[in-house]
Amino acid sequence: MKIKFWGVRGSIASPITKYSVEQKIKKILELATPADILSPQAIDHFLETLPFSLKGTYGGNTTCIELRTDDNKVIIIDCGTGMRSLGKSLIDTDKMTGTGEISIFLSHTHWDHIQGIMFFLPIYIPGNKINFYSSVENLEERLRFQQTKTHFPLTMDEMAASKSFNFFPEGVWEKLHDIKYTSKAVRHPGGCFSYKFEQIDGKSFIFCSDAEFNIDTMDEIGSYIEYFRDTDVLVFDTQYTFEESLQKIDWGHSSAAIATDIAIKSNIKKLILFHHEPFYDDSKMDQVTMQALKYKEMIAGSHSLIIETAYEGLEIQI
């Protein structure tokens, strides 16, 4: 499996501003010395020394992940605003130009996870097949409601691709292409499901966004530890700092500290911090990453857990 991130923000899209770009440029110029710009090679070396927040951006699109199986089948997880760029990429690579077929897993139907559907170009092309999967029972009804004429100019029936809606119960293992998958409900207003994907060789990936785990519930997560156990890559909701999570009980999100605790208890190999707070700029996201790494070192020392922060364009091979 290969995982690619097309949208990593939570709640609402948060594009980078002119002011933010200017601040990045100003800071880079302050750090540069004459020797750093003597040649293209010197510039490249200098850029390599900069923190991620200065030489790039985590991105402002909401939740959308592409999972590509070993037999090159495409599975999309959630349909936030990042889905627009993913759709264009699929068309540009001739993947969904009239004879293509993809599968879409939806964790829940809050706006930041479904708004990209209407701007996903492959769904407008006749001949394409779009297969929705979810443990949400009335998924089709919810998505159609998003596209009533009072909400959006085009209804779902006016999207020319064929569409199917496939419900599967929580906890049941099903097979799709060369992988199997299952779901587990997580605490979130309105309900939400985590999805686990497993290859024939046993390697596994879990998507667990919009999930609230807090200090008051840590003693009651035995079934989740078993669900997460030994997973190769866990994408986990870390929208809040630990302090914010104490102030926002029942808002439906977790912190990097809680995610790290769970990952270590579950023997996760790689933890991906995800569903970033829309008010956090790139510099703040660097801080979130460093704090998570320091917390992991404090509680587990040299534990083998790898922690990364999701950004648009990040690719992970499992």
Is the predicted pLDDT of residue 24 greater than 80, yes or no? yes
Picking from 256, 221, 252, the residue whose alpha carbon sits closest to that of residue 235 is 256
State the amino acid at position 59 in one-letter form.
G
pLDDT over 70, % of the chain: 97
Tokens of 222: 């035995």
Q: Calculate the dihedral angle through the C-alpha atoms of 17, 147, 157, 121, rounding to the nearest 10 degrees.
A: 10
Q: 54: pLDDT confidence band, cut at 50, 70 and 90?
A: very high
pLDDT, one tens digit per residue, over 293-306 is 999 999 888 889 99
Please count the other Cβ atoms lying within 10 Å of the Cβ belonging to residue 203. Answer: 17
Average pLDDT over all residues of the chain? 95
SS3 call for 257: helix
Ordered structural domains, the chain, with CATH: 2-13+57-317 (3.60.15.10), 18-55 (no CATH)
Is the pLDDT at 273 greater than 90, yes or no?
yes
Residue 52: how many CB atoms within 10 A of its CB?
15
